[in-house]
Structure 1
Amino acid sequence: MKNVAEGFEHLYKSISTQDFLEMKSLGGEIPFFVSPYEAKDQVEVDKAIKGLKNKLENHGIPVLEINLYDTAIEIINQELGEGEIFALEKEMDKDEFKQALQSILDINEVLIPHIKQKIDTSRAKVYFLTGIGLVFPFIRSHNILNNLQNVAKEAPTVAFFPGKYNGYALELFGLLKDDNYYRAFNIDNYKLKA
């Protein structure tokens, strides 16, 4: 497995190509990519994502980062009021609390429309999906990816995934097998044209 710096150099070289940005050579498939990484590297990856965004934007490639954790907190605060989630958590057992969060953050009715609004008002040429590990278990990665493909059509999406992705199965943190997901490419395997 590549180290974080090598992986992000490959990401920059891949994402900054016209073929990638124009979503060519995908054989009609949706422009969704998973960038898996070791969960233990999260702090380094967070810094590298920020650096990659800056580097791309400095080269005229605007990026929209959709951080699922920040988006979830934004929605929860709108629905319940600032910080009220902590009071709710004290009142409920774990299962009730998880169900309440899933209800507030309903994927189809709330979360995806919220993300779509961000996409629609963006001029981004690429979307970054981050914070996947932070929202587990109340938001599952395969649910987001399956639903996001309906709204993130104008630009390629790169999902930064703390775990393993072999082209058909997501394994969060390298431990928890999520449902199979076949519609994304592992960006580590993205071939640059010579």
Structure 2
Amino acid sequence: MDLSLYEISLGLLEERGILEDVLAAEPEMDKSELRELLQGVLDVHEHLIPKIGAAIAAQPHDVIFLSGVGEVYPYIRSHNVLNNLQSTAKDKPTVLFFPGSYTHSTATGGSLDLFGLLHDDKYYRAFNILNYEV
């Protein structure tokens, strides 16, 4: 199952009837105002995870592929998605396509470094799939 965070976000804005309003207002808004607006209307816990949960429940699958992380940054942060997704997508493996690197050390745990620049030292129950052979 392929789920794009970008496509899901656009769908949420359309469903709420505010996509056109957001697009019209965007040129006049400060970046920080736009970020706050989108973080609110696309709240991971309240809106995004329930939408992902509905998609997971509606379609049989063996693996969940999450993409679109770079397209929704900084409005949606990958660590928020992963932390909130644990209760929803607990029965099948999830693969996050991430434009950056995943580093792990025993001292600090895991970190997703977006675009290879933005370091996020949150703990993840994750591993780098490139380190495993099938």
Q: Shared topology, TM-score over 0.5? A: yes
Code of the residue aligned with 1:75 in structure 2: it is L
Q: Does residue 80 of structure 1 match 2:17?
A: yes
Cross-structure match for 1:182: 124
Question: Could you tell me which of 60, 74, 77 is aligned with 1:137?
Answer: 74
Q: How far apart are residue 118 of structure 1 and its match?
A: 0.4
Do the aligned residues in 2 keep the contact of 1:77 with 1:84 (CA within 8 Å)?
no
User: How far apart, in 2, do the equivalents of 1:157 and 1:72 lie?
Assistant: 19
Q: How far apart are residue 156 of structure 1 and its match?
A: 0.8
Cross-structure match for 2:107: none
User: How far apart, in 2, do the equivalents of 1:74 and 1:95 lie?
Assistant: 22
Question: Could you tell me which of 113, 116, 126 is aligned with 2:50?
Answer: 113
Determine which structure has more spread, i.e. the larger CA radius of gyration. Answer: 1
Structure 1: gaps (5+ residues): 1-63
TM-score by length of 1: 0.63
Q: Deviations over 1:7-55 (max 9, x none)?
A: xxxxxxxxxxxxxxxxxxxxxxxxxxxxxxxxxxxxxxxxxxxxxxxxx
User: How far apart, in 1, do the equivalents of 2:7 and 2:89 lie?
Assistant: 18
TM-score by length of 2: 0.89
Do the aligned residues in 1 keep the contact of 2:39 with 2:76 (CA within 8 Å)?
yes
Q: Does residue 125 of structure 1 match 2:62?
A: yes
Do the aligned residues in 2 keep the contact of 1:126 with 1:156 (CA within 8 Å)?
yes
Code of the residue aligned with 1:151 in structure 2: it is T
Do the aligned residues in 2 keep the contact of 1:142 with 1:179 (CA within 8 Å)?
no
User: How far apart, in 2, do the equivalents of 1:95 and 1:182 lie?
Assistant: 27
Q: Deviations over 1:43-79 (max 9, x none)?
A: xxxxxxxxxxxxxxxxxxxxx1110001101001111
Do the aligned residues in 1 keep the contact of 2:100 with 2:112 (CA within 8 Å)?
yes
Q: How far apart are residue 90 of structure 1 and its match?
A: 2.9
Q: Deviations over 1:75-120 (max 9, x none)?
A: 0111134533211213422111111101100111111001100001
User: How far apart, in 2, do the equivalents of 1:156 and 1:77 lie?
Assistant: 29
Q: CA RMSD in A?
A: 1.4
Task: Among all aligned residue pairs of Structure 1 and Structure 2, give the percentage whose two residues are the same amino acid.
Answer: 49
Aligned with 2:119: secondary structure?
strand
Do the aligned residues in 1 keep the contact of 2:10 with 2:19 (CA within 8 Å)?
no
Code of the residue aligned with 2:115 in structure 1: it is F
Matches within 5 A, 1:55-70: 64-70=1-7
User: Greater RCO between the two (CA within 8 Å, min separation 6)?
Assistant: 1
User: How far apart, in 1, do the equivalents of 2:50 and 2:121 lie?
Assistant: 23
Q: Aligned residues, how many?
A: 129
